[in-house]
Amino acid sequence: MHSSHTGSRNRFVRVGFFCIHCLIFLLTALVQLCYAIGSRWLDWPEGCLRACAFPTFVFMLRTRVRVHWELTFIMALAFALTGGIACGKSMAEACFSDCGCRVLDADRVVWELEAPDGEAVSAIATAFGRTVLTPEGAVDRRALAAAVFDDTEARRRLEAILHPMVRARADMWLRAAGKNDISVFSAALLFECGWDAQWTDRIVCVSASEATQIRRMVSVRRMTEAAARARLAAQMPVGEKARRSTWILENDTDDPEALRVRVSALVAQWRAGM
């Protein structure tokens, strides 16, 4: 397990940014109020309108400050988990859960969105036709995969439907966290989807060597070696994901206990910085 810095320093940085945001908003509010008062003496209709608009501006200011406050302190206890195929991300999720962390898997959210009566079903049927639905009204994931396979434009349409919904679910889940909860949002495509910007300095990557990935895909997923190599070639290399992450959980062994020890040590480090 590797780490580039401690959680406490990150918190001080976020608090600093939060204070700067508050100062900017307060200065803007002061300028707005002074201008409204001045306008009332020079041109009373415009001045009255601006004076009446000031409470609305203050309400917007209060809302923005509340959101920044939530992101500053809730996100300080939230982390993102990613990794390459056959690296052990699902196993790491279980380990984080066993350590008392809240865990949300983006893949599980997508399953819920595409289930019967799911939020995404109607939009996906409109975009790709009802042939991608099952008789029960769920999204047929194989049919949908075939519809977007090797079609960049179709894949972008699907992402435009699903990604905002997943982000909205994740944000709601984060805001539901308790004061001392540690939240872990798991997304295999964290970097590919561009979600890493929200999790700067709070990303954990589960990594394994290419040889280990291929061995696991062949032995566990019953893929041919050629198919395994093709799957790896079509994805972002796990080495690149690890390079862009804050912490790296190396998982070349097939011993779940070894990964559990690494995860426990990382969670202890996070709690120490709370």
Q: pLDDT tens, 4-52?
A: 444 445 555 556 656 666 676 677 666 656 655 554 444 555 555 555 5
Tokens 């409109």 belong to residue = 126
What confidence score (pLDDT) does residue 78 get?
A: 95
pLDDT number for residue 69:
52
Question: Residue 150's pLDDT is what?
Answer: 81
CB 18 within 8 A of CB 83: no
pLDDT at residue number 225: 96
Which pLDDT value is given to residue 200? 83
| Rounded Cα distance, 274 and 261, in Å | 20
Q: What is the pLDDT of residue 40?
A: 47
Q: Looking at the whole model, is its pTM more than 0.95?
A: no
Strands, E assignment, 61-133: 78-83, 102-105
- CB-based contacts of 206: which residues, under 8 Å, 6+ apart? 81, 82, 83, 84, 87, 88, 89, 91, 92, 249, 251, 259
List pLDDT tens digits, range 197-218: 989 899 999 999 999 999 999 9
Q: Between vectors from CA 245 to CA 99 and to CA 85, what angle results, nearest 5°? A: 75
Q: Which segments of the chain have a pLDDT < 70?
A: 1-22, 24-25, 28-76, 274
Question: Which pLDDT belongs to residue 4?
Answer: 44
